[in-house]
Structure 1
Amino acid sequence: MIKACSVTAMALVLSSTGAYAADPVPVIELQVQEGSGSNFSQGSAANGDILQLLEQLQREVQSLRGTVEKQQYQIKKMERDARDRYRDLDRRISAAQQGVAANGPASPAGENTGADTAATGTSAPASSTQVTDVEAYQAAFALVRQKDYAAALSAFDSFIDTYPSSPRLANAYYWLGEVNLAEQNVEPAQQAFQYVLDNFAKHRKAADASYKLGVIYKQLGDAAKAKSYFEQTVAQYPGSSAASLAQDHLK
């Protein structure tokens, strides 16, 4: 007479945060001849191996779940930090527009500050033969940090004329827009942001320029155009700090 021993492995499913699942382990039928001690021992050993394998798989699944949850937490924290930095910058620029002294120097969100900063007291270059485009850009941005906006406008204009092929040209146009906006020069600011959007659509400052155009049109009372630029920012630059701020305006 033959007795059948079966072991069923339940499906192992990760949490909803991961899209991992193991196929159910099929039922394993171990045919054991009654009275055969040797075969029964082999069947028991096989069952033991399967249970041990299942326990090992469960431990690995738990480990993977912990890794996924940890990575998701870190990503969310980075997104929150970036959004907070961008909002802080936006508040400072808005305060400057209203003639209120902002706390601390303004700096571009997520930008390499090494290309945007210079020693305090540096003035804009007067001649392209004396400095590199990096030095000229640093000097112009230093004036923004010092809130010497009139001098900063002149320095960025000079930079754009002197270094038309500089990899920092998009940044220069963007900050030309920001400084003009801070000085209540709405039309030049609008033109500078639009130039970034039209000529440097793939640049990291394009998302910021798109968002700022929405802000300008909102301030001008053109709700339809403001909404259009906010929606464009969200659609074309998803995941950016500018997109997050644009979504706030669309709510």
Structure 2
Amino acid sequence: MMARSFPLHPLRVGVLALAALASFSAHADLFGDDEARRAIIELRQRFDTAVSAQNRLVEDNAQLRRSVLDLQQQIQALKDDLARSRGQQEQLTRDVEQQRAQRDALQALDDRVKKLETDAASKAAASPDGGNGGAMGADGNDKQDYDAALAVFRSGDFNAAQTSFASFIKRYPRSSYAPSALFWLGNAQYATRNYKEAITNFRSLLTAAPNHAKAPEALLSIANCQIELKDTRAARATLETLTKNYPQSEAAQAGRERLARLR
């Protein structure tokens, strides 16, 4: 039965070569000079080859470690990018949902106000915009300017609507349309998430004209802003005031539904 042979590691070969070299050196007298020199040269060459191979292995191993480290860093960078992308996607989804909710709320508000104004006009109990009377603008253009600002609001350009209504209020502070202008200014600010300023303008409407046809809607809008500001306690109190002070209004009905969800 033949014995199996195994390849020797280059470094091991070198060690064996050195041992053999030492043996040859110790017993050089057993060989002729030429034969001994050839054997020593061959052993040295084999040793040098083994050392070179070992050096290449060390360098290859170091290069492999560097490559693995670079790969790990690239993987971590990809993970970080993915986490950021997921965070941005989640934030975008939240923003879209919030914008959709605000758009739906504004549409519902617009529908209620249109009905309110139609009812008021049919009874001739208020001005065409649902106001409760007052002095007209000095140049008689307040209705035209109010309608123009309202058209901007209904077009969805809420930043421009804020500018238009703020200019209207400054120009026509005593107009019968001024409370309505405050109301729509507050809603334009709500649409652009300027909730604190919106609350200020809704409260200005309630202070100046507590019996105005849009007063219940102003209270409901204040509650909506407080909900967006995560001030649930204040929103609940506002909705309770709405349902108590204006129990027959459509805004009060919407307020009761909102109050039930808050509880």
* TM, length-normalised to structure 1: 0.52
RMSD after superposition: 2.9
For 2:109 and 2:211, locate their aligned partners in 1 and report how far apart those are by CA, in whole Å. 27
Structure 2 residue 180 is matched with structure 1 residue 171: yes
The number of aligned residues is 146
Give, in angstroms, the shift of residue 110 of structure 1. 2.7
How far off is 1:230 after superposition? 0.3
CA separation of 1:249/1:129 partners in 2, compared to 1, >3 Å: closer, same or farther? closer
More helix by share: 2
| Larger-Rg structure | 2
Distance 1:223 1:145 in 2: 29
1:187 deviates by 1.4
Q: Deviations over 1:15-56 (max 9, x none)?
A: xxxxxxxxxxxxxxxxxxxxxxxxxxxxxxxxxxxxxxxxxx
Distance of aligned partners of 1:230 and 1:164 in 2 relative to their CA distance in 1, 3 Å threshold: same
Mapped to 2, the partners of 1:172 and 1:103 lie a distance apart of 17
Q: For structure 1, which runs of at least 5 residues remain unmatched after alignment?
A: 1-92, 117-127
In 2: Cα distance, 1:97 partner to 1:216 partner: 10
**8 Å CA contact 1:149, 1:183 repeated in 2:** yes
The alpha-carbon deviation at position 130 of structure 1 amounts to 7.3
Q: Give the deviation of 1:222 after TM superposition.
A: 1.5
2:146 is aligned to 137
Q: Mapping of 1:215-226 within 5 angstroms? A: 215-226=224-235
Matched residue, 2:190: 181
| Structure 2 spans left out of the alignment, 5+ residues | 1-97, 122-127, 130-136
Equivalent AA in structure 1 for residue 100 of structure 2:
A
Report the counterpart of residue 250 of structure 2 in structure 1.
Answer: 241
Post-superposition offset of 1:232: 0.3
Query: In the alignment, is the contact (CA less than 8 A) between 1:97 and 1:183 conserved in 2?
Result: no
Structure 1 or 2: more strand by fraction: 1
Give me the whole-angstrom Cα distance separating, in 2, the residues matched to 1:162 and 1:150: 19
The answer as to whether partners of 1:105 and 1:145 remain within 8 angstroms in 2 is no
Instruction: Provide the rounded CA distance (Å) in 1 between the counterparts of 2:109 and 2:167.
Output: 22
Question: Residue 162 and residue 96 in structure 1: after superposition, are their counterparts in 2 closer, same or farther (change >3 A)?
Answer: farther
Query: Residue 117 of structure 2 corresponds to which residue in structure 1?
Result: 112
Distance of aligned partners of 1:103 and 1:233 in 2 relative to their CA distance in 1, 3 Å threshold: closer
Counterpart residue type for residue 154 of structure 2: R
> What aligned pairs does 1:10-29 form with structure 2 within 5 A after superposition?
none
Correspondence list, 1:142-157, <5 A: 142-157=151-166
In structure 2, distance between residues paired with 1:104 and 1:229: 19
Cα pair distance change 1:168/1:250, threshold 3 Å: same
> Which runs of 4 or more aligned residues in structure 1 lie more than 6 Å from their structure 2 counterparts after TM superposition?
102-105, 128-131
CA distance in 2, matches of 1:212, 1:138: 21
Identity of aligned residues (%): 29
* Mapping of residues 1-251 of structure 1, within 5 Å: 95=100, 97=102, 106=110, 108-112=113-117, 115=128, 132-251=141-260
TM-score by length of 2: 0.50
